[in-house]
Amino acid sequence: MKTTTKKLLTKGLIKENPVFVLMLGLCSVLAVSVSVINALGMTLAFTFVTVLSELTISLLRKWIPKSLRIPIFIVVIASFVTILQFLLQAYLPSLNKALGIFIPLIVVNCIIIGRIESFASKKPVLESVLDGLGISLGYGFAIVFIAIIREILGNGTILGYALFGSSFEPALMFILPPGAFLVIGVEIGIINHLSKKRSRKEVAE
């Protein structure tokens, strides 16, 4: 059980990372990762919806007709996104404003729909919750890692705090769309290189 739990919680970090490996959910990652604060906020929002959606679908999986599964999945996800948006509007209005349209767009995030279809609709509740947490950790790792690089290079700050003196000239390109594509492309290339190197090492051993 411990091995299964560890595997479910860690698989999303590198091996099945939804952003760097599976190349899913890139729209929100590229748009929101202009700052670490926004990236952390998006990670929490994504985790809230993913875990609760997988939990709900796993509980209901035996009663969901196959012909209606996708509409039901979307209704469940949309319900939790609505709850999330009300909570953000009430308690974190600045974060809600910063994330903007990307909160309601979680409803059609292919990562969440994919995990529900391939995992939660077929597995027990505990495993589904762990899967949701593992995938959310991977998503959070990716978006925060990208945001750290973009905020430092594009603003010279981290979490809003200045890192350099007044003489520092930020490369504004990194907080613009081209910078997002450049950063994520380089990071995907590095991860693919390390993965291939690791695979060759395992084969050799």
pLDDT at position 165, please? 75
Give the model confidence (pLDDT) of 60-86 as tens digits.
Answer: 999 999 889 999 999 999 999 999 999
Mean local confidence (pLDDT), 162-186 = 86
Question: How far are the Cα atoms of 39, 150, 154, 157, 174 from residue 166, in angstroms, in the given order?
Answer: 26, 19, 14, 12, 19
The number of beta carbons lying within 10 Å of the beta carbon of residue 163 is: 11
Q: What is the pTM of this model?
A: 0.90
Give the model confidence (pLDDT) of 146-164 as tens digits.
Answer: 999 999 999 888 887 888 8
| Strand (E) or helix (H) holding 112 | helix 110-115
pLDDT at position 2, please? 61
Give the model confidence (pLDDT) of 3-38 as tens digits.
Answer: 678 788 888 887 888 888 888 888 889 889 999 999
DSSP 158: E
How many residues are given for the chain? Answer: 205
The residue ranges of every structural domain in the chain are 2-204
Integer Cα distance of 148 and 156 in angstroms: 10
